[in-house]
């Protein structure tokens, strides 16, 4: 069975994937940014919960060294840790922009760089990047999140061809809408600073997010996919997962630029905003 390091395991995809991998007999090191505040739902003997903030270089080095010492190597890295930062790009504080990139992109890249020498020495390894459907579709109000995931996807594609000769495989997981805690955090976001010119748009997006709470696919699908990829003989590069992602990826292939713009406006009903209207029109 494999030796797996996975980040962002306090909830959602990460916690479910750690549980599923352990259930199948893999040895799992599950990273938690704030372990004292986290309460993993299940505690398998083969899961070692480790404190790991992917923005902390010293923490990364410590956990990688611990895993090599205790497990003897690293067969698969799952870069799952990520944060949402909803809001208009002009409104968001620059520290928020940096934090999103530091966690979603640079954190994953830093951890990947730390495990690559180990995987090269082994002559084998797998690196799974948790990207997002947002990397392919930049929706209004999700600009920095989309940018961070798109950067991760681009870096992963380059990395794929840099490390394949060493027996290391790289892939992207691209979830659409899932019933995890992230939609709840987005729905709890504010509507920007007082006097923001984007306030009507953000209020509309916030209401849409709140109305969609509880919808989306079962996040266990992503956990199952991660465990399947730990056991597959070969990996493809992209794995859109969930009904929304599969449908959108298929649809985008058929759209020209104008049709793509209309599609993006239709996702959250924002054409009224682009048209200079004061509010969304009720089609009823």
Q: Output b/e per residue, 41-68; b: 16+ Cβ within 10 A.
A: eeebebbbbbebbbeeeebbeebbeebe
At 57 the three-state DSSP class reads helix
Kindly list the catalytic residues.
145
Dihedral angle sign, alpha carbons of residues 178, 180, 182, 186: positive
CA dist., res. 132 & res. 85, Å (int): 14
Contact partners, residue 14, CB within 8 Å, separation at least 6: 6, 7, 8, 30, 31, 78, 80, 81
Residue 125, class by beta-carbon neighbours within 10 Å (0-12 exposed, 13-18 middle, 19+ buried)? Answer: buried
- Count of residues making up the chain: 284
Query: Which of these, 4, 23, 143, 154, lies nearest to 80 by C-alpha position?
Result: 4
At 258 the three-state DSSP class reads helix
CA dist., res. 186 & res. 132, Å (int): 15
CA 129 to chain centre: 8
């Amino acid at each position: 069975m494999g030796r797996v390091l996975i980040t962002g395991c306090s909830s959602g995809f990460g916690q479910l994937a750690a549980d599923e991998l352990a259930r199948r007999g893999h040895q799992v090191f599950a990273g938690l940014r704030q372990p004292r505040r986290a309460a993993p739902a299940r505690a398998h003997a083969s899961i070692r919960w480790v404190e790991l903030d992917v923005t902390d270089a010293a923490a990364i080095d410590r956990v990688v060294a611990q895993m090599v010492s205790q497990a003897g190597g690293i067969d698969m890295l799952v870069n799952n840790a990520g944060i949402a930062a909803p809001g208009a790009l002009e409104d968001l504080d620059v520290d928020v922009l940096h934090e999103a990139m530091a966690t979603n992109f640079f954190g994953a890249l830093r951890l990947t760089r730390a495990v690559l020498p180990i995987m090269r020495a082994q002559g084998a390894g797998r690196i799974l990047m948790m990207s997002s459907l947002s990397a392919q579709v930049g929706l209004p109000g999700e600009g920095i999140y989309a940018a961070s995931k798109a950067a991760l996807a681009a870096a992963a594609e380059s990395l794929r061809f840099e490390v394949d000769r060493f027996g290391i495989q790289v892939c992207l997981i691209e979830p659409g809408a899932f019933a995890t805690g992230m939609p709840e955090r987005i729905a709890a976001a504010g509507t920007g600073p007082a006097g923001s010119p984007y306030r009507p748009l953000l209020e509309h997006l916030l209401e849409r997010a709140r109305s969609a709470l509880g919808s989306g696919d079962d996040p266990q699908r992503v956990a199952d996919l991660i465990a399947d990829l730990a056991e597959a003989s070969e990996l493809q590069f992209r794995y859109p997962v969930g009904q929304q992602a599969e449908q959108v990826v298929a649809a985008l292939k058929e759209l020209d630029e104008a049709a793509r713009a209309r599609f993006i406006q239709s996702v959250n009903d924002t054409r009224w905003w682009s048209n200079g209207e004061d509010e969304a029109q009720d089609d009823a």
